[in-house]
Amino acid sequence: MSHVGNSLDFIQERSSIFLAHVQQDADGQWLPHLLDDHLRGVAALAESFATGFDAGDWAKLAGLWHDLGKYRPAFQRYIRSVSGYDAHIETTLGRVDHSTVGALHAIEKMKGVGRILAYLIAGHHAGLPDWQSAEAPAASLAHRLKQTDLLAETLAQAPPADILNAPPPTSSPGGQRYHALWIRLLFSCLVDADFLDTEQFMSPEKAGLRGQYPALAELEPRFEAYMTALTARADDTPVNQMRALVLDRCRNAAEQMPGLFSLTVPTGGGKTLASLAFALHHARRHGKRRILYVIPYTSIIEQTADVFRGVFGEDAVLEHHSNFDSERETPRSRLACENWDTSLIVTTNVQFFESLFAARPSRTRKLHNILDSVVILDEAQLLPPEFLTPILSTIRELSGHYGVSFVLCTATQPALASQRGFDWRFDGLDDVREIMGDATAVQELHTSLRRVEVSLPADLHAPTSWEALAAELATHPRVLCIVDRRDDARLLHGLLPTGAVHLSGLMCGQHRADVIAMIKERLVADEPLRVISTQLVEAGVDLDFPVVYRALAGLDSIAQAAGRCNREGRLFNLGRVVVFAPPTEPPAGHLRQARDAGRQLLQRRPSDPLAPELFTEYFQSLYWRKGMEGLDREGIQALLKNNSKLEFSFRTAAERFQLIPEMQAPVIVRYGDSERLLAQLARPGDALDRKTLRQLQRYVVNIPRRIHQRLLADGAIEERQPGVYVQVAPLYDPNVGLQVEQTVKYEPDDLIV
């Protein structure tokens, strides 16, 4: 990349000079980013990114050809006009298509296999396209490749021969790998290189902020120092002895060759720090570049990121999720979230897996930085069954061909091994190594860490009324009760004596965080405390009650609820977990199927309902209830299936792969500091303040779209800016959160948390 002159006259004298970008310096002089330089710069960067998976020659060619369309006279007139570079040129041109030309050139040079590069180049701004599309035929790659006149117009400008006639790749296109994933990874290399080369020219001060996070080699000594101090001040209890054992086995297992691992440890057994120890040692031993900690819920991610910051310091942890506290955001962290070019990342299932199936450049540019990493999948039992087949397929590919070691970390290990039937097959994860040892070792750990006794009702089909349950709960001074539905939580809370605490997804994130902090304080102070919650407390929220009630549910949910009971093992006797049949049915779909699978297993009255060996049978029953089609509900595999014609539906797959269905809509509620922030929110027509919007994420509640539309029509909420909805009517209760009419029937998935 070079800047050639600041003079307009110089450019006008050189008709052979083509621009990729232009900008003004502090003195008002125009600086040209020459197209030749941009293409070569992107090619070099993309090649370096893809070398790790032996595809550097493909990425280099994509970089050289991605902006060939900018040689078109129409584009050169456009960039001079809209930039003001040549202010005397008058044009009414809109945006000029500059991405189709490189795709056409790839087909001309490489015939059928050129489609690989055509997908990358045609999509490097708008996103990876479908080969054919009934919904948007003009956006399909097949349609765009019919515009051959664009290529002829471009070639007439005589682009440099070393760019136009660069030699074809010599490496095999993906080998025998999953072509669709290989293409998406190449796309990631191209678009990240394009962003970075452009940024280096347009915003060199921003580019200078990248790459300033500490390397993994710096983090391991910090971790060892932290663990030494933690061990020194820990009480010598049976629970802490078992945690030390878990930690030791994680360190030893890190020496094993990269691949697939599981870490099966009862809740409260120290999985978070132990799995981090494995990741750090494994990364050093095998030269891995980064660690990704992937977590299902934002309520867990915030807690985990805080733990990691306590270990490594504020400067070492990149926390990437929609609910991130903007007060902690810096220009450096904002840039690192774009492409994950850092050492330790804590993110969500949604961010991680949706990015792997995404089509848009902004979502996919981070993918190449997942390679040669250690990925901890925390609470692995919460991998969404409806997308299990494409998720497991991608995990297999990343582990088998791209140097990624995965750790399935949970107290309730799902049944993910491959299975075969007479007329069906389930392609799961094989050769998964259990860090804790064989099945006997896992059972011994479970027995050693047993801290609760589970009580089942005499009849698992006979419901207990809410009134009877409330009366029973009122006899316990300190008790947690977990139900599946938001309206159940609110109803039961209303039946308890004054002072009971409520937790559900109808409370905004800040409200929930405040309540959880208060609960922890009261538990430490040994104060009376009755809490009614949805299952949002079941994964990763460190609570420790002597008694926990759980509405009949899947076996994994019951085990997670048990993890909030006698967590530290301080009770003289075992903690008590009471399972009850509620008077309402779980929502149709996954929750009801999980309840039915759990009830079927519990009807056999096992001596230990939480024994590890039961979970394989439970998850098999749950998955088979859905059927093979139910494990790929949206047909993602068919859209991305390997085929000799390289006809993929990238955009459609991305649209369908949504872990959180778009059945809900957000409302910014009136709670805490949101009043002050809302006063700062731009009025209609003003530019939105990004920082304020990020801060307001802490005060969002998601509700079903049809209820959202009704509240909007009634004037209870208003659209302050496009897509930004704010509570107007007094609907938010300081105890139970957003209130809507109790008679409204929620959609099944809206009642989960």
DSSP 353-365: HHHHT--SHHHHT
Confidence at residue 680, expressed as pLDDT on a 0 to 100 scale: 77
CA distances to 88, 360, 430 from 55, in Å: 45, 21, 27
Query: How far is the C-alpha of 272 from the C-alpha of 478, rounded, in Å?
Result: 27
DSSP-H helix ranges across 525-665: 555-562, 590-602, 612-630, 636-639, 650-656
The secondary structure of the chain in percent helix, strand, coil, rounded to multiples of 5, reads: 50, 15, 40
Confidence at residue 160, expressed as pLDDT on a 0 to 100 scale: 94
Tell me which DSSP letter residue 381 carries.
Answer: G
A 10 A CB-CB count for 286 gives 16
Confidence at residue 322, expressed as pLDDT on a 0 to 100 scale: 56
Query: How far is the C-alpha of 738 from the C-alpha of 484, rounded, in Å?
Result: 18
Query: How far is the C-alpha of 9 from the C-alpha of 31, rounded, in Å?
Result: 13
Spans in the chain with pLDDT lower than 50: 1-15, 87-94, 324-327, 742-753
Confidence at residue 234, expressed as pLDDT on a 0 to 100 scale: 85
DSSP 537-579: GSSS----BSEEEEES--HHHHHHHHTTBSTT--SSS-EEEEE
Residue length of the chain: 753
Confidence at residue 751, expressed as pLDDT on a 0 to 100 scale: 37
The answer for residues whose C-beta is within 8 angstroms of residue 86's C-beta and 6 or more apart is 8, 12, 80
- Token pair for residue 19? 């621009």
DSSP 441-463: HHHHHHHHT--EEEE--S-TTSP
479 and 674 Cβ atoms separated by less than 8 Å: no
- Token pair for residue 407? 């750790």
Confidence at residue 3, expressed as pLDDT on a 0 to 100 scale: 42
**First-to-last C-alpha distance (Å) of the chain:** 51
CB-based burial, 446-485: b 16+ in 10 Å, e otherwise: beebbbbbbebeeebeebbebeebbeebeebebbbbbbbb
Identify the residue whose tokens are 């025998």: 176
324 and 690 Cβ atoms separated by less than 8 Å: no
- Token pair for residue 286? 């095998």
Report the run of H or E that residue 392 belongs to, with start and end.
Answer: helix 388-401
DSSP 310-323: HHH-TTS-EEESTT
510 and 728 Cβ atoms separated by less than 8 Å: no
Radius of gyration (C-alpha) of the chain in whole angstroms: 28
Confidence at residue 131, expressed as pLDDT on a 0 to 100 scale: 96
- Token pair for residue 468? 């009877």
Confidence at residue 298, expressed as pLDDT on a 0 to 100 scale: 72
Confidence at residue 175, expressed as pLDDT on a 0 to 100 scale: 59
431 and 460 Cβ atoms separated by less than 8 Å: no
> Backbone phi, then psi, for 680, in 5-degree steps?
-85, -15
Confidence at residue 95, expressed as pLDDT on a 0 to 100 scale: 72
Confidence at residue 6, expressed as pLDDT on a 0 to 100 scale: 42
Which 3 state secondary structure label does DSSP give 70? helix
Confidence at residue 91, expressed as pLDDT on a 0 to 100 scale: 41
549 and 492 Cβ atoms separated by less than 8 Å: no
